[in-house]
Amino acid sequence: MGKLLVTGASGHVGKLTLQNLLKRKVPANKLAALVRDPSKATDLAALGIAIHQGDYMDPPSLLKAFKGAEKVQLTSTHAFTDRKTAHANVIDAAAKSGIKHIVYMPIARKEHSDFVMKQVTDEDIFTENKVLASGLTYTFLMHPPFLNTLPPFIGMNALDTGIRVPAGDGKTAPATREDLAEAHAAVLSQDGHENKSYILTGDPAVSYADMAAILSKISGKKVPLVTVSDQEYIEIKVASGFPAIAAPFALGWVKGYNRGEWDSVTGDLERLIGHKPTTTEEYFRGVYLKGASK
Ligand SMILES: NC(=O)c1ccc[n+]([C@@H]2O[C@H](COP(=O)([O-])OP(=O)(O)OC[C@H]3O[C@@H](n4cnc5c(N)ncnc54)[C@H](OP(=O)(O)O)[C@@H]3O)[C@@H](O)[C@H]2O)c1
């Protein structure tokens, strides 16, 4: 097996991917990480993983880092940055430096859907097209919403306030970053995923009413689903500490949930990781009952 390089390794998914590659018995000397700030990757360095300093906006740093790698995972960069240039630079550098296979993680889109997430959909489509035009072997791991970001969206204090979101009864099948990164590690370390797309989903799909029912069940008290306007939702998020720019972004995700944009349950994630992904109920138990006696 050639060398596997993961970008965004100072972040959640990148780091978890590398940790899962080690769990899969890929030797540390076959692994490399690209980070902007190596001080955020001392844990990975201690595991024997080669750390390369580089920035998506600095093509020479990418060329240097990618030298000798066979596969690269392009970890999407943050919203509200120039994601198209950043991703294009990574793809160009991968092609120029002789990397054979690129793994990318767009947010899943429903076929024929006209739903657009600002800062996400357009940039993802651009990146996928750029990968396809690059001639590189690819794997697209289409992501659902992270289960990890769901509690802040519905309220960390939802047990007390109820779930306060705009109206809608669509379902979503979110998955944890941990399960998704396990799938990334499977794809990077195995053959057979060349030029394929997988739609990674949790199981089961849940609506906000289902989430209120889950919270009621696990807490033993009635947690209501309260309908609020879009503006009220934004105000609630800002009051709870979301930066002003992030609150409308969170509303965008909620609207996607409500229209059932991510309601499919494909089984792709379970097949790749070989076990059931964490469910919303299991995840909520860990978050909302932390420190509780039940
Ligand atoms: N499916 C979902 O629900 C969902 C939700 C939120 C985000 N996402 C997407 O999924 C991505 C990964 O999620 P995550 O939780 O792992 O995010 P994260 O923890 O914020 O990690 C993002 C990584 O990208 C790196 N990065 C950003 N800009 C870079 C640049 N110019 N050059 C080099 N590295 C750069 C960051 O480095 P630094 O540490 O230096 O910043 C960080 O390591 C996010 O970036 C976002 O695009 C998906």
pLDDT tens digits for range 229-265: 999 999 999 999 999 999 999 999 999 999 999 999 9
Burial of 94 (0-12, 13-18, 19+ CB in 10 A): buried
- DSSP secondary structure string, 121-136? HHHHHHHHHHHHHHT-
Q: Say yes or no to pLDDT of 67 above 60.
A: yes
Task: Find the 239 Cα to ligand 1 centroid distance in Å.
Answer: 25
Q: Say yes or no to pLDDT of 87 above 60.
A: yes
pLDDT tens digits for range 137-192: 999 999 999 999 999 999 999 999 999 999 999 999 999 999 999 999 999 999 99
| 251 C-beta neighbours (distance < 10 Å), count | 18
pLDDT tens digits for range 33-55: 999 999 999 999 999 999 999 99
Q: Say yes or no to pLDDT of 77 above 60.
A: yes
Average pLDDT in the 88-102 region?
98
* CB 192, CB 24: distance < 8 Å: no
Confidence band for 293, pLDDT divided at 50, 70 and 90:
very low
Average pLDDT in the 272-289 region?
98
Q: From 64, 78, 269, give the residue whose CB has the most ligand 1 atoms within 8 Å, as the site to mutate.
A: 78
Tell me which residue of 14, 132, 142 sits closest to 73, measured CA to CA. Answer: 14
- The predicted structure's pLDDT at residue 290: 83
Output the CA–CA distances (angstroms, integers) from residue 127 to 20, 114, 205, 216, in the order listed. 25, 18, 27, 41
- DSSP secondary structure string, 135-171? T-EEEEEEB--BGGGHHHHH-TTHHHH-EEE-S----
- For residue 104, the SS3 value is strand
- The predicted structure's pLDDT at residue 238: 97
Q: Residues of the chain with pLDDT > 90: what percent?
A: 98
From the CA of 143, give the closest atom in ligand 1.
1
- The predicted structure's pLDDT at residue 75: 98
| CB of 66 shorter than 6 A to ligand 1 | no
* CB 165, CB 154: distance < 8 Å: yes
Q: For strand 101-104 and strand 163-165, is the pairing parallel, antiparallel, or unpaired?
A: unpaired
| CB of 55 shorter than 6 A to ligand 1 | yes
- The predicted structure's pLDDT at residue 292: 60
